[in-house]
Amino acid sequence: MLDQIAAAFDRQDYKIAASLLKQLQQQSPDSPWVTFYLGRLREATGKLEAAELLYRSLLQVTANPKVAAQARLGVQRLATLKAAAPAPPATESAAGAGVLVLEAIAPDYRQQAAQRFGQVMGIDAYSARMLLPSRGWRLYRVGDAAELQKISQQLRKAEIPAFWQPVRAIQALKVFRVRYIETASPQVKVICENEAGQTGGLSFGWAEVSDRVEGRLPIFEHVVDLNARNQLTRREATQDYAQVIDLHLPQRRCILRFGDWSYQFGQGVLLDAKQDGELVATQLSNRIRWNKLVYFLDEQLSAVPVWTEFPQFAETALELLPLIELKSQIDLLRKAPSQWDQAFQLYSGLVSQTRSAL
């Protein structure tokens, strides 16, 4: 049936394509090809925004390389159409860029929520259901902040949990990269670097910390592998993960960032009795020492909320991040920049801004 559907699209017989697609949807509702051809149908009938949503949702969830390749081509076609379209008239809005985030939907409310979400966004319930997250947050849209604010209000009126934030509010947050904790009581003092690379001390109380955000950033390397034809190929693979923790100090409008690649375990508060000179500089010992730092923060911040759903957010954000001008403020040495770093900056910033609004 896939061949028949493809042939119908080739000859632009969208009525037959829609009929065949309906049959395929009944036979194989979970097939990624259903979502792809729904996108093709919307693209062909001028519903470009709905088509792009379907293509991008496929890129985030499908493991089928053929479907992913076709979805990527669809996104590229739509980008070409947008670039060729006349620019909209200038407005007086100075809100700038913003992001719209969907929050998790409870399973027993999912079907009803999909219908309401589809009505607000002008898409069918099937597409809407795929876009609604069941866990964590989903970066749904990047665009004009004023417009996203209106959409967010409409979604909340329809009882769809969502929120928006202007990018400039996240850009304004100060991030200090912690090198080590010099003292832990009665007042905490950390030695850290600001965004300009200047080192200094910052003192605060544990009670000032409102939230703790944890994440793992993949470390990519180019590896040589054998393909199906027993030929040598080079590909990018995840070799390891860097651990990162943000502590939020809302009264100071800043974030303290700890990274397992940059924290100086041999300085300041001793987290390991061997720190006086017997540490072995291996990856394993660094991981053990990082875990000891995490346990230490657990003890000091036992009542502070911990945000751990960064991976789910990042998977939905990577495709949209090129549309945002946001420095990662992560000093992890990489052979090439990674949007995972930028995704963590956005996630942590959203936590900070959302919590401060409560």
pLDDT of residue 228: 66
95 or 318: which carries more pLDDT confidence?
Answer: 318
Whether residue 53 sits in one domain with residue 34: yes
% of the chain beyond a pLDDT of 70 = 87
pLDDT of residue 131 exceeding 60:
yes
Band of residue 190 on the pLDDT scale cut at 50, 70, 90 = very high
Whether residue 212 sits in one domain with residue 120: no
Whether residue 304 sits in one domain with residue 191: yes
Number of domains in the chain: 3
Residue 317 falls inside a structural domain? no
Report pLDDT digits (tens) over 213-263: 999 999 887 666 666 677 666 666 778 899 999 999 999 999 999 999 999
pLDDT of residue 280 exceeding 50:
no
Q: How far is CA 11 from CA 19, 24, 109, in A?
A: 15, 19, 41
Lowest mean pLDDT among 88-97, 173-182, 212-221, 254-263: 88-97
81 or 306: which carries more pLDDT confidence?
Answer: 306
pLDDT of residue 306 exceeding 80:
yes
Whether residue 40 sits in one domain with residue 102: no
b (16+ CB within 10 A) / e for 155-182: beebebbbbbbbbebbbebebbbbbbbb
pLDDT of residue 348 exceeding 70:
yes
Own/partner long-range contacts of 332-341 (Cβ < 8 Å, ≥24 apart): 332/217, 332/242, 332/259, 332/261, 332/262, 333/261, 334/219, 334/220, 335/220, 335/221, 336/220, 338/217, 338/218, 338/220, 340/217, 340/218, 340/314, 341/217
Q: Are 21 and 5 in contact (CB under 8 A)?
A: yes
356 or 142: which carries more pLDDT confidence?
Answer: 142
pLDDT of residue 347 exceeding 50:
yes
Residue 201 falls inside a structural domain? yes
Whether residue 186 is preceded by a cis peptide bond, meaning omega within 30 degrees of 0, is yes
Q: Within 13 Å, how many C-alpha atoms sit on residue 203's CB side?
A: 4
Whether residue 289 sits in one domain with residue 186: yes
Residue 132 falls inside a structural domain? yes
In angstroms, how far is CA 56 from the centroid of its own chain? 13
Q: Which of 19, 49, 84 is the last residue of a domain?
A: 84
Band of residue 275 on the pLDDT scale cut at 50, 70, 90 = very low
Pairing of strands 232-249, 211-226: antiparallel
Determine the Cα–Cα distance for residues 309 and 240; give it in Å rounded to an integer.
19
Q: Which of 117, 142, 170 is the last residue of a domain?
A: 170
pLDDT of residue 161 exceeding 60:
yes
Specify the pTM.
Answer: 0.72
Mean pLDDT on 136-159? 93
pLDDT of residue 283 exceeding 60:
no
Residue 162 falls inside a structural domain? yes
Residue 342 falls inside a structural domain? no
Whether residue 287 sits in one domain with residue 162: no
pLDDT of residue 351: 96
Residue 76 has phi, psi (to 5 degrees) of: -65, -40
Mean pLDDT on 61-89? 73
Whether residue 119 sits in one domain with residue 27: no
Band of residue 301 on the pLDDT scale cut at 50, 70, 90 = very high
Residue 54 falls inside a structural domain? yes
In terms of residue numbers, what domain contains 283?
174-309
Q: Are 190 and 202 in contact (CB under 8 A)?
A: yes
